[in-house]
Amino acid sequence: MDNLIEEQRKLIEQLYRIVKGSCPVDATSAKCRFEYDHGYEDGSESVGETFYYTKNGESVSAALRHELAFPVVDLVPQLHAKMKAHAGEIGMHLRCSSTKTGL
């Protein structure tokens, strides 16, 4: 089971790096919520994110940097599968947050 937890940690770390890399250097905090919708009758699925960072005391809604964001569509379903294997069926909404010390 430890291996499964380590695999989850590695996926979360990759998502964190994407969020961190999408922030301007002078951002003081960031939040990103990843959502994975699946299980539709037609077999379709979708991955979405909502990304904000704080700069000069103001919250800014933005998109993840395009060149960094491509792996998200694979990482989020992989993380869901690992979490499901570990804890059973879950509804997944992953939120990454960081403050300046972590950016």
pLDDT digits (tens, 9 = 90+) for 1-57: 568 889 999 999 999 999 999 999 999 999 999 988 887 899 899 999 999 999 999
Helices (H), 1-103: 2-21, 66-69, 72-87
Residue for token pair 């919520």? 33
Q: What is the pTM of this model?
A: 0.83
Find out whether 39 and 91 touch, Cβ atoms under 8 Å: no
